[in-house]
Copies of this chain bind each other. A is one copy, B any other.
Amino acid sequence: KETCAQQSPGVTEFVGTAMGDTIGLVIANVDPMLTESMNLGKYRSIGIIGGRVGAGPQIMAVDDAVKATNTEVISVELPRDTKGGAGHGSLIYIGASDVSDARRAVEISLASLDKYFGDVYGNDAGHLEFQYTARASYCLEKTFGTPLGKAFGMVCAGPAAIATVLADVAVKSANVEVVGYSSPSQGTSNSNEVILTMTGDSGAVRQAVRAAREVGIKLLGTLGDEPKSSTQPYI
């Protein structure tokens, strides 16, 4: 019920849609001919979250969803997309023993996407993305290798040059630990982004993300209009 009330297309697998051209789907019992190609492991019931715009918001949303349901993240894939933008789209498979659990996880994910687009800012020249949680769960662990149950922060921007500075600003502004640093040719799908991920004390991680956000809005603004939040900032 958290998901948007949408036109039902008359397809069993459909759950709902959300921001970022994101669609949520379930398959109750994936055909055995596909389970190996899809790397589903033991699962036959899956939930699917995928969008054209944004990987971070969907990853954060699924992280919440697996925390709240009896499900597991099977895989997170990051196409080069954002509809001509500088970043990624997403394709996330969630496994469950029972399809109702998979559906519930997909519903929760769709319902929290608006929140996690809150610190995605854009203008004609590019985008900024910031994410933060006090307790990372399985989707963040799987995608970024960040420690489970600890604070997690992400700083990202495209063009990548801007994010290089934001990464430096973030780590200088608080006592955080670097989890990962990705760039166009290393750790991204050739997106025009640098992505810094951090862990540490939750207050420090949040402070680092906020410091980078402040500088990011100024820097991206030099290439175009003032960058605007896609919804409402949450960090």
Out of B38, B89, B125, B215, which one reaches A52, CB within 8 Å? B125
Q: What's the least CB distance linking A93 to chain B, in Å?
A: 8
Contact A190 B80 (CB under 8 A): yes
Q: Is the CB of A21 within 8 A of B189?
A: no
Q: Give the size range of A's interface with the partner.
A: 35 or more
Q: What's the least CB distance linking A187 to chain B, in Å?
A: 9
CB-defined contacts of A13 to chain B, threshold 8 Å: 165, 168, 215, 219
Determine the chain B residues whose CB is within 8 A of the CB of A185 once the complex forms. 77-79, 189
- Render A181-224 as a binary contact track against B, CB cut-off 8 A, 1 for contact: 10111001111111010000000000000000001001101111
Chain B nearest CB from A199 CB (Å) reads 12
Q: Are A222 and B9 in contact (CB under 8 A)?
A: yes
Instruction: Report the copy number of this chain in the oligomer.
Output: 3
Identify the stretch in A59-67, A95-103, A113-121, A153-161 within 8 Å (CB) of chain B at 4 or more residues: A153-161
Q: For A14, what are the chain B residues with a Cβ–Cβ distance below 8 Å?
A: 218-219, 222
* CB<8 Å pairs between A and B, sample of 23: A6-B222, A9-B219, A11-B218, A14-B218, A21-B223, A23-B159, A23-B222, A23-B223, A27-B165, A31-B172, A33-B178, A38-B181, A48-B164, A52-B158, A78-B190, A79-B86, A80-B80, A80-B191, A83-B86, A91-B183, A91-B194, A185-B189, A189-B190
Enumerate chain B residues within 8 angstroms of A37, measured Cβ to Cβ. Answer: 178, 180-181
- Given the complex of chains A and B, what is the CA–CA distance between A192 and B79 in angstroms? 5
Distance (whole angstroms) from the CB of A57 to the closest CB of chain B: 14
Minimum C-beta distance from A161 to chain B (A): 3
Contacts of A8-48 to chain B: CB distance below 8 A: 9-11, 13-14, 17, 21-25, 27, 30-31, 33-34, 37-38, 48
CA distance A120 to B27 in the complex (A): 24
A56 interface contact, C-beta 8 A: no
Question: In this complex, what residue of B is CB-closest to A188?
Answer: B79
